[in-house]
Amino acid sequence: MKKLKDFIVNSRVWRSFFRHGWPDNPLDRSLIMTTNVFFHLHPVRVNKRSIKALYSFGLGVITTIMFVVLSITGILEMFYYVPSVDTAYFDIITLQTQVPFGQLLRNMHRWSAHLMVLTAVLHMVRVFYTGAYKRPREFNWVVGVVLLILTLGASFTGYLLPWDQLAFWAITVGTSVAGYEPMFGKLIQKLLLGGAEVGQASLTRFYGLHVMVIPGLLLLIISLHLWRVRKDGGLAANEVKDEIETEVENA
């Protein structure tokens, strides 16, 4: 059995996948972080303080997980949905009543969207109150503000897609705010809706923004955001000096 395992792990095929051994020693635990695309957003070593649950509450991680859940459920929903004012509403009904687990799929997409907005806001609140925006993390804070706005945009554009009364009037009310702005307001409103009122053009545009433009931007900027966390020295909890260090400094 051990022979078989050694044969597989040492084979050229396995070695071409993983360029390091089982991560039970310092060298391989470093290599797994630097050679794996999913792990490389993390640092090789983390501060003990930064992984305390009561420090970050895991809000940023949960927000990212919600983005993944939304992408998967969203792609599945796309298989059953056509963004046309004539069929969209009935596609949703079909999804809920005819498609296996369709109702669960739609529920998960809806609730995780709300949860993502909520955790993104709470994550920002956490980052603010722990002073984690301070130098050298200023830029990543700005990136975070952009991500929050994009998250709101993703949720708002998705809100129209079921094409029911709730969707129609929420978007009508939501976009009318832009129309109040005297300089470019009407132009922005018209650009978003593709006309003076919510109609087929709006549905087409919101769909395009919702399934392509905003998720694409989110994926790109979330990657930047996470990468910058590592590049800026990990969580701000690292900045806290422990007793010995404080003693040395005061000496």
Query: Nearest approach, Cβ of 145 to another protein (angstroms)?
Result: 5
Q: Which is nearer to another protein, 194 or 233 (CB)?
A: 233
Q: How far is the CB of 10 from another protein (least distance, A)?
A: 21
Span between the terminal Cα atoms of the chain, in Å: 59
Count other C-beta atoms under 10 Å from residue 229's C-beta. 21
C-beta closer to another protein: residue 1 or 86: 86
DSSP one-letter code for 11: S
Closest contact distance (angstroms) between CB of 71 and another protein is: 13
6/247 with CB nearer another protein? 247
Q: For residue 134, how many other CB atoms are within 10 A of its CB?
A: 11
Least CB distance to another protein at residue 46 (A): 5
Which residues touch 79 (CB under 8 Å, ≥6 apart)?
A: none
Q: How far is the CB of 37 from another protein (least distance, A)?
A: 14
Q: Which two tokens stand for residue 8?
A: 């597989």
The DSSP string of 78-121 is: HTT----TTTHHHHHHHHHHTSTTHHHHHHHHHHHHHHHHHHHH
**Which CB, 23 or 194, lies closer to another protein?**
23
For another protein, the closer of residues 65 and 213 by Cβ is 65
Q: Compute the distance between CA of residue 26 and CA of residue 74 in angstroms, rounded to an integer.
A: 40
